[in-house]
Amino acid sequence: MIMGNTDNKTEQLRKITGAVLGPVCAILLWMMPIAGISEQAHHLLAVMSLVAIWWITEPVAIPVTSLLGPTLCVVLGIAPLKDAFDQFANPMIFLFMGGFLLAKGMMVNGLDKRIAYGIMSMKWVGDSPKRIFLAIGLTCILCSGWVSNTATAAMMFPIALGLLGAIREMMERNGKTIDLKNYKYATGLMLMTAYACSIGGVMTPIGTPPNIIMIGFVDQLAPDAPKISFFQWMIWGTVAMVCFFILAYAVLWKFFPSDVKHIEGAKDYIRQTVSSLGGWTRAQKNTVIAFFVAVALWVAPSILSVVYGTDSGVMKFYDGHFPEAIAAMVGGLLLFFLPVNLKKGEMTLSWKDGVEGIEWGTLLLFGGGLAMGAMMYTTGLSGWIGNGIKEALGGNPSEWLFVGVFCVVALVMSELTSHTASTNLIGPIAIGAAISLGFSPIPVAVGIALASSLGFMLPVSTPPNAIVYSSGYVPITKMIKSGAIIDFVGIILVTIPVVMLVVKYVMR
């Protein structure tokens, strides 16, 4: 209880400090003379300081700050209305909106739980603690590649708790009483649930917000760079996901092994739960159809380019009529048209459920971040900052060093604040600096996205961390220790090699 009060006081102090510091910094920067920068860029820098501080300290909701930035730019004459707000209609936003609808269809119709328990009930899992540990992780990464990390964690959390309850009951039947709050395996299973949900998000562009944000920044700020397709992202995203997962599994099992070889009650618990789900419903089948339609439309360009060539008429027609955002919307909108009961007018997804399923705050954050990033580019602010970074790194740094620095910055910021807000903040700066140095912006963009998903040290780093921490089975010191190892080993052995080797190979 004391810890809870302390956390609340710290959070309140952070918000009050940010509320005061943001406007003060903005006013000082506005009044301070800065050489080598245009008046518009100078004033935008002042507004960006306010937005950045408020994104980090959250005196108001992050989406509100995302709307405040473009609004101030119009009021202060930094940009006209159209330029300030046109990014709120960016195709990347509709790509994510379609993904939200598909995810909500899975959740509303119980398809997510059916998939989760289907994996847990496989014969190879059985009642082995080690395999259950692995199965929980695999289920989380597979689901969170398509459903939001937070939603996946919320779904898997009670499943993991149920399995731990089965372990306790089994121990009690054998005359052994355990306290799950001090039980290593319980801590490990909770951390595996959280970490795997974050790791799975790197697999697809819609898996986690930083992915789509960085794709959007590359499209807007580096129009001459090769376009990142859904399938291309899945190639390096899957490689990174597998490597991150192997690392997390090895670290967590090393620190939090089970003290028994079999969990006798686990099979019964999973079998009873699977039985209670009943047979496949029409809504679940329709959701699968809509999902695979979207996936087929996302993957089709890669197949067509191999068969017909990238410059063929077929490819031009497809790209013009079925870009990735439209593919996502086709899949999402299908849920409103595939019937469950025509007589009653029931469809797979209702309008009410669909509206509630869209994370409007996240979409506003995307729009605000893209808007501020675009204005940083058009006013020359990102180029000015990029030149400053170039000089700070010695004038002619290697691309490895450049990408590595921004990966570490993204990781540190994601530990302390929303990874979505931190990506919005450093994304335009990194791309501007890459262009200034003559580097392709794609490696650093992908590096920032991957590194932002490695916030494993603190409960506040990601919603999955906060969810499992609420169980009481995860001591903060254990989360910090295991998270720090995975974070920094992941940066060195996974993120940077994947970015520099796989991305360059795929984008050729």
What are the tens digits of pLDDT across the range 39-72?
Answer: 998 999 999 899 888 887 889 887 898 899 999 9
Q: Are 60 and 82 in contact (CB under 8 A)?
A: no
Give domain status of residue 438, yes or no.
no
Give domain status of residue 474, yes or no.
no
Give domain status of residue 14, yes or no.
yes
pLDDT at 2 over 60: no
**Domain that residue 27 falls in:** 1-86
Give domain status of residue 96, yes or no.
no
Give domain status of residue 93, yes or no.
no
In the chain, the percentage of residues whose pLDDT exceeds 70 is 91
Give domain status of residue 7, yes or no.
yes
Give the model confidence (pLDDT) of 343-356 as tens digits: 888 999 998 888 77
- Give dist(CA 240, CA 238) in Å, integer: 5
pTM, whole model, 2 decimals?
A: 0.76
Exposed/middle/buried for 411, CB within 10 Å: 0-12, 13-18, 19+?
buried
**3-state SS, one letter per residue, for 193-225:** HHHHHHHHCCCCCCCCHHHHHHHHHHHHHCCCC
191 or 62, higher pLDDT: 191
Give the DSSP letter of residue 89: G
Residue with tokens 């940077």: 496
Give domain status of residue 37, yes or no.
yes
Length of the chain equals: 508
pLDDT at 257 over 80: yes
- Give dist(CA 442, CA 96) in Å, integer: 20
Give the model confidence (pLDDT) of 152-174 as tens digits: 787 778 778 777 777 777 667 66
Give domain status of residue 156, yes or no.
no
Closest CA to 448 of 434, 430, 432: 430
Give the DSSP letter of residue 280: P
- Give dist(CA 178, CA 175) in Å, integer: 10
Write down the pLDDT at residue 3: 42
- Give dist(CA 334, CA 336) in Å, integer: 5
189 or 359, higher pLDDT: 189
Mean pLDDT of the chain: 82
Domain tally for the chain? 1
